[in-house]
Amino acid sequence: MAKYSPFPPIQLPDRTWPNCTITQAPIWCSVDLRDGNQALINPMGPAKKMELFRTLVKIGFKEIEVGFPAASETDFAFVRELIEKDLIPADVTIQVLVQSRKNLIDRTFEAIRGAKSAIVHLYNSTSTLQRRVVFQASKQEIVQLAIDGATHIRDLARGSENPVRFQYSPESFTGTELDYAVEICEAVCDVWQPTPENKTIINLPSTVELATPNVYADQIELFCRLFRPRQSTLISLHTHNDRGTGIAASELGLMAGADRVEGTLFGNGERTGNLDIVTMALNMFTQGVDPKLDFSNLKEIRRIAEFCTELKVHERMPYAGDLVFTAFSGSHQDAIKKGFAAMKETGQDAFEVPYLTIDPADIGRQYDPVIRVNSQSGKGGVAFLVESELGFQLPRRLQIAFSQVIQRITDQTGKEMPAREVASKFVETYIHPPATLQYHSHTPIECDAEDQERYRFSVTYQGEKSEVEGQGSGPIDAFVHAIRDQYGLACDILDYHEHAMEAGSDSTAAAYILVRTPDGQELFGVGQHRSITKASLLGFIAAVNRSLQAR
């Protein structure tokens, strides 16, 4: 294909980043209010910008790019409001962007006057393509443009009443010859004279993602090797997502030696977006690394971001999407259910649940929507919802039977069945089916037979209340015989399970009774009561009523 050319590889045979891991959080800088805002269909007004600023502070960002005040009166006014109303916490530094033009730099310093801590972010484009097509300028002319801007910023900062930190971006770094990127950044640092105690930020943006993320990592590692004032600078990353690998590029860039990361919540930004800081930070969290950002109430953060940007977070967005903690597949549901059960049983701290990389509770999500039911779902998912909604721990055969009930419904409707509807259907089917036979009470009576017990049962059958008697090895067996003798209702008990539904001596008991009818049907009934005997009787009666309903 003559129309497109492969990106030239970086010659770095002794690269070290593949053997590195991310062990600590970078310095994070949110650019939601500048880079993110300029990419919106409807840019944020002052109220929305203020709400998002407060949210970013609450999350824990210590550096926030608040605008391009020299290019926008709205941004200028917003920066002034933050400063004049003392809305910037003492441990937060605002950052402002400016091109390398004297009049714009002057206006930028007007905007940050009085700020307790500010970063002036100077940039100019350095890529081969933009030098040729946009600026029609030589390498030296572009270097001089950067030097002139850096010099003017240095001179204005010397007269500032508050300290000003410096940041430089060779825009379109990834499309710039690496030796030239080093040259221009060194020229800027020669002006600013950073020290290990007063570091300059060198931001190396993947303004347009041009290659695979390993190439970006090579560029970062090689830049760090070649750059003379490396010990006096913070190397910052600013990736975009044109190839869909912005997060991977930033992760590998950190492994390659970078110190700082710029990005936005949920990846809002030009074209396909910026780095998604939420995803990258929570990726670290799942590896046991504290990201130093608080996403424990991610649902609320998402709500605010959607309101301010008027952009919806996709259902499949990592961590934040509506469906990312949802399993429809039956095998997935079964594995998730067993994983939660195993953690509960062992009481372990380590989160180990199949198909889930993070505990939903850690980011303010609930367990109940983790499993949802449609026509693709299996017994494990259905059983999980019944347990989470009602507390019943279904035996395996009942799981299979009830999942078939639900699948018939979802096959007919073609739609998802909400958890509450699943729970309601369980109660309707197994606990309270149409009540042809009703139990009221029972009392023991004298029995002459050895190893037998006799009981009198108060019941209603087909609307008529009466008392029936029966004997057997216990009250359940006696009731089986009583209704068989009195009404001809012959149901044999095949299987029986029980459990307490909560801790404590006065907890409710659940009983699961499987019966076989004379025509060979096998039907479950479920009962619950503080008395395990009454729970068992109610479960048996529910199964009998289901057999009568089936007739």
Band (106; pLDDT cuts 50, 70, 90): very high
Per-residue pLDDT tens for 476-516? 999 999 999 999 999 999 999 999 887 665 678 999 999 99
Residue 94 maps to a domain = yes
The predicted model gives 218-225 an average pLDDT of 98
User: At residue 95, does pLDDT exceed 60?
Assistant: yes
User: At residue 416, does pLDDT exceed 90?
Assistant: no
* Domain residue limits at 546: 437-550
Are both 337 and 299 inside the same structural domain?
A: no
- Do residues 142 and 131 make contact, with C-beta atoms less than 8 angstroms apart? yes
Are both 460 and 522 inside the same structural domain?
A: yes
- Do residues 32 and 265 make contact, with C-beta atoms less than 8 angstroms apart? yes
Are both 282 and 371 inside the same structural domain?
A: no
> Can you tell me the distance from the alpha carbon of 511 to that of 502, in angstroms, rounded to the nearest whole number?
14
Among 55-59, 61-65, 238-242, 336-340, whose mean pLDDT is lowest? Answer: 336-340
Band (550; pLDDT cuts 50, 70, 90): confident
The predicted model gives 299-319 an average pLDDT of 95
What pLDDT sits at residue 374? 66
User: At residue 64, does pLDDT exceed 90?
Assistant: yes
Are both 373 and 450 inside the same structural domain?
A: no
User: At residue 192, does pLDDT exceed 60?
Assistant: yes
User: At residue 368, does pLDDT exceed 60?
Assistant: no
What is the share, in percent, of the chain residues with pLDDT greater than 70? 96
Residue that terminates a domain, selected from 278, 309, 340: 309
> Can you tell me the distance from the alpha carbon of 442 to that of 467, in angstroms, rounded to the nearest whole number?
9
Query: Strands 509-516 and 492-500, how do they pair?
Result: antiparallel
> Can you tell me the distance from the alpha carbon of 456 to that of 97, in angstroms, rounded to the nearest whole number?
87
How many domains does the chain contain in total?
3
Residue 240 maps to a domain = yes
Which H or E run includes 303?
A: helix 298-309
**What tokens appear for 165 in the block?**
């930190």
What pLDDT sits at residue 371? 63
DSSP, residue by residue, 102-167: HHHHHHHHHHTTT-SSEEEEEEEE--HHHIIIII---HHHHHHHHHHHHHHHHHHHHT-SS-EEEE
Residue 5 maps to a domain = no
Residue 197 maps to a domain = yes
User: At residue 369, does pLDDT exceed 60?
Assistant: no
Give the CA count within 13 Å in the CB-facing half-sphere of 233.
Answer: 29
Per-residue pLDDT tens for 315-359? 999 999 988 888 777 678 788 888 988 998 999 999 999 989 999
Are both 353 and 251 inside the same structural domain?
A: no
Band (161; pLDDT cuts 50, 70, 90): confident
The predicted model gives 136-163 an average pLDDT of 94
Q: Distances from the Cα of 326 to the Cαs of 107, 423, 547, in angstroms?
A: 50, 17, 35
More confident residue, 506 or 67: 67
User: At residue 404, does pLDDT exceed 70?
Assistant: yes
Q: Look up the CATH number of the domain holding residue 151.
A: 3.20.20.70
